[in-house]
Amino acid sequence: MSRIDFDVAHLLAGSLVLISFLELYQDRLYALLNVYALHALTLAASVAWQALVQDAPHLYVTAAIALVFKAIVIPVALHRMIVQLGIHREIEKVVGIGSTMLAGMGLVALAMVVMLRVTHNADPLAQEDLAFALSVVLLGLLMMVTRRNAVGQVVGFMSLENGLVLAATGAKGMPLVVEISVAFSILIAFIVIGIFLFRIRERFDTVDVQALDRFRGERR
């Protein structure tokens, strides 16, 4: 492929990682949602670009899914939910921003080291993509474990999924089954999460995970 294709793909993937860092940085729910929307948007772009350069039209579907569901529907939905449930707006973190950032750096470095061991018969783009995807996945996980309230964790989880999509699209010629399954799983994930948030609301007045933890096993 030509140089420019590679650079653009690289740029998009890299910015995805960057936005993951931005998410880590946020301390307000709304802001977090917005950044996540941006995250999804970038993903959509990168997927679309992949579709273009791989001339794999089916990838456009994935791009569309990313754009519609992740970048628009879900942030809005979560936004509404926050309003409805009247969740207090700032994100309770476990560790401070700075240390989280440092940890994130470490994770990205780790991802790079691991991927660089891969021999180069895989084409460089795929390799870069995987490196970035791995970073995004790890950052998403990091976000999940450093955020106290459910919305934060959900967002973390979703950015993790984004990393997966990035990897999947990076994998050239991967059968459609995978994209569909990704979308499919995320769909189910959201349905179930929705159900849960719903049920949870009707039972507790908060989605704060700690409220659930009060009923931890064996506390009878």
Which residues contribute to the site for another protein (CB under 8 A)?
94, 107, 110-111, 113-115, 117-119, 121-122, 126, 130, 133-134, 137-138, 141-142, 144-145, 147-148, 153, 157, 160-161, 163-164, 167-168, 171-175, 177-178, 181-182, 184-185, 188-189, 192-193, 196, 199-200, 203, 209-210, 212-213, 215-220
- Enumerate the H helices of the chain as residue ranges: 3-25, 29-53, 58-65, 74-85, 97-116, 124-146, 150-170, 176-203, 209-213
- First-to-last CA distance in the chain? 63
Q: How many CB atoms sit inside 10 A of residue 167's CB?
A: 22
Q: Are 78 and 151 in contact (CB under 8 A)?
A: yes
Minimum separation from the CB atom of position 114 to another protein (A): 5
Q: How many CB atoms sit inside 10 A of residue 210's CB?
A: 11
Minimum separation from the CB atom of position 213 to another protein (A): 4
Tell me whether residue 34 or residue 172 sits nearer to another protein (CB atom): 172
Tell me whether residue 6 or residue 34 sits nearer to another protein (CB atom): 6
Minimum separation from the CB atom of position 205 to another protein (A): 13
